[in-house]
Amino acid sequence: MDISGARALVTGGSEGIGFGIASALKAKGARVAIMGRNQDKLLAAVEKLGVKGIQGDVSREVDAQSAVHQFVTEFGGIDILVNNAGFGYFAPLVELEADKFTAVFATNVTGAMLMGREAARHFVEQESGTIINISSTSGLSGGKTSSAYSGSKFALRGMTECWRAELRPHNVRVMLVNPSEVQTPFFAKVGVQQEMSPKKLRPEEIAAAIVGALEIDDRGFIPEFSVFATNPF
């Protein structure tokens, strides 16, 4: 597709991978809006990026409906949805707290579904569109203490396959992106100190890969891909 002029909504766009994706799309000439829960972070990102900001929580149905409605009203339609909003919670099975476990699924899975549903209604009607779900290599292989996060990403991968089967007849491309470790605020939020390194991935690499996938002619698409650091050690 020709990204220039495309209308793109990026959830979780206030920082990290979402911010990087929004920046890369705007640099390609797309008309971009970012969605985020925290108003202060959202406003700061909007000022840096020069894009529209939509405050809301993807896990709340009314917010998801309102966000897509606001976007379509502002831009006259929607061409790309990037489902990036998500967070993690890590604990051994015997210590898992049900409310925290449920909260991860509410954002990472239900939130993606709500946003995808609202965007897909427009995509089906216009017979075009792209949904990009940001998953993780944790959605390909589980690990210790990752029941909540990996479980949610495995679920997102399954939903992506379902949407792809449903939407391909309407010329809608549904892609899944699995980043490995990326240097973002993600780890600090879950209380893990991330070792920074010039060899590790940045949001820019994930964004560049997504731009490349989007720019393939609409007759074809990449259903799923992973992005690894060449040598992070």
Query: Active-site residues: which are they?
Result: 149
Which tokens belong to 154? 């495995």
pLDDT at 136: 98
pLDDT for 216 equals 97
Percent pLDDT > 90 in the chain is: 94
Per-residue pLDDT of 188-216, as tens digits, reads: 787 777 888 999 999 999 999 999 999 99
Check whether 96 has a pLDDT greater than 90.
Answer: yes
Tens-place pLDDT, residues 65-85: 999 999 999 999 999 999 999
Return the domain boundaries, the chain. Answer: 7-223
Angle formed at CA 133 by CA 80 and CA 129, multiple of 5 degrees? 25
Domain 7-223: which CATH class? alpha beta
Quick one: pLDDT band at residue 187, thresholds 50, 70, 90?
confident
Nearest to 167 by CA among 139, 132, 136, 212: 132
Q: What is the mean pLDDT of the chain?
A: 97
Q: What is the pLDDT of residues 16-39, one digit of tens each?
A: 999 999 999 999 999 999 999 999
